[in-house]
Amino acid sequence: MWNKKLSKNTGLPGPPTQTPGPPRRYIMRILYLDLDTLRPDHLGCYGYHRNTSPNIDSIAKQGVRFTGYHCSDAPCLPSRAALMSGRFGIHTGVINHGGTNADMRLEGSDRRFRDKMAISSLPAIMRRAGLKTVSISPFAERHSAWWFYAGFNEMYNSGKGGMESAEDITPTALEWIETNAAEDNWFLHINYWDPHTPYRAPAEFGNPFENDPLPDWLTPEVLEEHRKMVGPHGAREINMYDNATNPKYPRHPGELNNMSDLRRMIDGYDCGIRYMDEHIGRIFEALAKQGVDNDLIVIISSDHGENLGELGLWGEHATADYPTTRIPMIIRWPGKQSGHIDDGLHYNLDLIPTLAELLGVNVPNSWDGTSYANVINNGADCSRDHLVVSQCAHVCQRGVRFGDWMYIRTYHDGYHLSFTDEMLFDVTADPHQQNNLADSNPEICGQAARILESWHQSMMKTMPHDVDPLWTVMQEGGPEHTRGALPAYCEFLEKTDRGWAVVEYKRKYPKEFGG
C-alpha cells in the first residue's frame, strides 16, 4: 500500500520509524469507481453466468468483496447525499428528486463559518488525510446538487447530465492520469453511467451476450403475469407512463411483448456493464503505464441497483427493495485482506467512517455510519444486525433488511396497484421477490415493524427537526415522479385495453382527478 518516498504533503499516517531522524512520509493513491445503477448479481465476481465484468472481477480477486452492502436511501440523489455526508436521508433531508426534499437541510443557527459538508464529507476527509481530491462526474449538475463538490480540489463535469456513455468519461480520466497519476497522494473519483437507463452501449459494440441464456427465473410465465400488471415502468410502459422509445437508444425497449423483447432488455443492461468494464480496463492500463497500479487502493461501488422484473418493474430503481438498494462494494487495499468475502450487512454511508479510521483521520463526528475497517484490516465480522432503507422519489417506502428477510412498508405506492401496505420476501430463497409472504408470516412482519419503529425513534431523537421528511414529501403531493402523471397515464391505460385499472385509480386517488 505504501511507497517509502518523501511526499510534499504532510499528516499522512504510516508505520512508526525505528531509527531517529525526521519522520518518513508515505504515498497513498485511491481510485474510486462510482458506477451508476450497477446490480452486484450482474457481475461475474458475484456469480453472474455472463462475462460482463472481467476488469472489475480482477480487482475483486485481490481485495474484499461485500455481499450485504446497501444504499440507505434510493435512488441517485438521495443515495449520493448519504454517501457523501455519511448521514441518512431522514437527517440530511435529501430523499426525493424534487420539492423541499431534493435539497439538503439548512443547518440554521448552528452553522459555523463553513458547513458540515466542508468539514466531514467524503472528499473533505480525503483532504484531511493529505490527499488531492478530484472528481470526474456530471452528477452535481444533473440534480443541482452543488454540495456534491464540497471537499474536491478539482471537478470535471462531463456535461451531459448523466446521459454520458463511457467514451464521454474515459478521455478526461486518461488525460488526468497521464498528467497527475505519478504525483503523491490523491483521491480520484470517476463516475460512469452506462448501466443507467436508457441502456446505451454504442451499436458498434455489438452484443457479446446474444447466445448466452437469460437469468433462469425470467420465464414466459413470469412475463405473462407482468403484462397483466399496471404501474409506471411496468412491462407495457417501460418509459415510466407509456411505451415510447427513442431511436438513439435501440437497446432500450418501450414494452415487453415477448421473450425477444425481454432478452433485448436484459442484453441492453448487460452490454452497458460490459462496455463500461472495457473502459475501466483502459483506466487500469493507464495507471499501470504510470507505474502506480501495484500500490493503488481501488474502491468499486454504485449508488443503487436496478429493477429488472422484480415487483413487476423494468429498467428503473424505484423501490425500497432488495435489488434496488443492494449494491456492489469491492475494496482492494494492498497489504490488507485479499480474496476475502464479507457477508455482513453494511450501508454505503458506512464508507466515510471506515476510510477515516483506515487513514487515521480524526474529525468532529456527525455521521450515522459506523466503521467496518476491521473487515479490511483482518477480515473481522463488523456486520450490522439489520438495515433500514428508504425510497421517496418514485414511491414512499421504507424497507428493513434482516436475516433472510426483506420487509417493505409502503406509504405511497407510486401507482403500483399490486403493492400492499406490507410486503415480505425471503431474499435468500427468493432474491427476485416473486412471492410476497406477508400474510403468512405476521410474526416476521411484526418483528420488522418493531425494528423500523425503533430506527425511526432513534433518528427523530438525533436531529434538530421534528418533521420526518417522508411526510413532507407526502404533503407536497407525493414522490417527484408521480406528481401530475396519473390522468395522462389513465388515458394510456384506456388505449391499451386496461380501463379496469382506471376505475381503481379514481377510487384510490380522487384528488389526482380533481375530486
* Element (DSSP H or E) covering residue 221: helix 220-228
**What values do phi and psi take at 33, rounded to 5?**
-95, 110
pLDDT tens series, the chain, 515 aa: 333 333 333 333 333 333 344 443 468 999 999 999 999 999 999 999 999 999 999 999 999 999 999 999 999 999 999 999 999 999 999 999 999 999 999 998 889 999 999 999 999 999 999 999 999 999 999 999 999 999 999 999 999 999 999 999 999 999 999 999 999 999 999 999 999 999 999 999 999 999 999 999 999 999 999 999 999 999 999 999 999 999 999 999 999 999 999 999 999 999 999 999 999 999 999 999 999 999 999 999 999 999 999 999 999 999 999 999 999 999 999 999 999 999 999 999 999 999 999 999 987 678 999 999 999 999 999 999 999 999 999 999 999 999 999 999 999 999 999 999 999 999 999 999 999 999 999 999 999 999 999 999 999 998 877 899 999 999 999 999 999 999 999 999 999 999 999 999 999 999 998 87
Q: What is the 3 state secondary structure string of 133-194?
A: EEEECCHHHHCCCHHHHCCCCEEECCCCCCCCCHHHHHHHHHHHHHHHCCCCCEEEEEEECC
Under DSSP, the state recorded for 44 is G
> How far, in Å, are 33, 242, 256, 453 from residue 235 at the CA level?
31, 10, 5, 34
The total of other beta-carbon atoms located within 10 Å of residue 331's CB is 28
Which residues lie below 8 Å from residue 25, measured CB to CB, with a gap of 6+?
Answer: 5, 6, 7, 9, 10, 12, 14, 184
Size of the chain in residues: 515
Question: CA–CA separation, 79 vs 72, rounded Å?
Answer: 7
Q: Which amino acid is at 375?
A: V
Least Cα distance to 439 among 422, 419, 416 occurs for: 422
**What values do phi and psi take at 201, rounded to 5?**
-55, 135
pLDDT at residue 26, as a whole number: 64
* Element (DSSP H or E) covering residue 116: helix 116-120
pLDDT at residue 22, as a whole number: 41
Which residues lie below 8 Å from residue 341, measured CB to CB, with a gap of 6+?
Answer: 64, 65, 67
> How far, in Å, are 131, 203, 297 from residue 16 at the CA level?
20, 54, 21
Residue 96 cell numbers, joined: 426525493
Question: CA–CA separation, 17 vs 413, rounded Å?
Answer: 60
Question: CA–CA separation, 12 vs 18, rounded Å?
Answer: 17
pLDDT at residue 18, as a whole number: 38
The yes/no answer on whether domain 27-384 falls in CATH 3.40.720.10 is: yes
pLDDT at residue 8, as a whole number: 35
Burial group, residue 51, by CB count within 10 angstroms (0-12, 13-18, 19+) = middle
Pairing of strands 396-402, 405-412: antiparallel
**CA 156 from centroid of its chain's CA atoms:** 21
pLDDT at residue 110, as a whole number: 86
Could you write out the DSSP letters of every residue in 62-112? Answer: HSEEEEEEE-SEESHHHHHHHHHHSS-HHHH---SSSSGGGSPPP-GGG--
> How far, in Å, are 181, 286, 326, 363, 425 from residue 176 at the CA level?
7, 10, 31, 29, 45
Which residues lie below 8 Å from residue 454, measured CB to CB, with a gap of 6+?
Answer: none
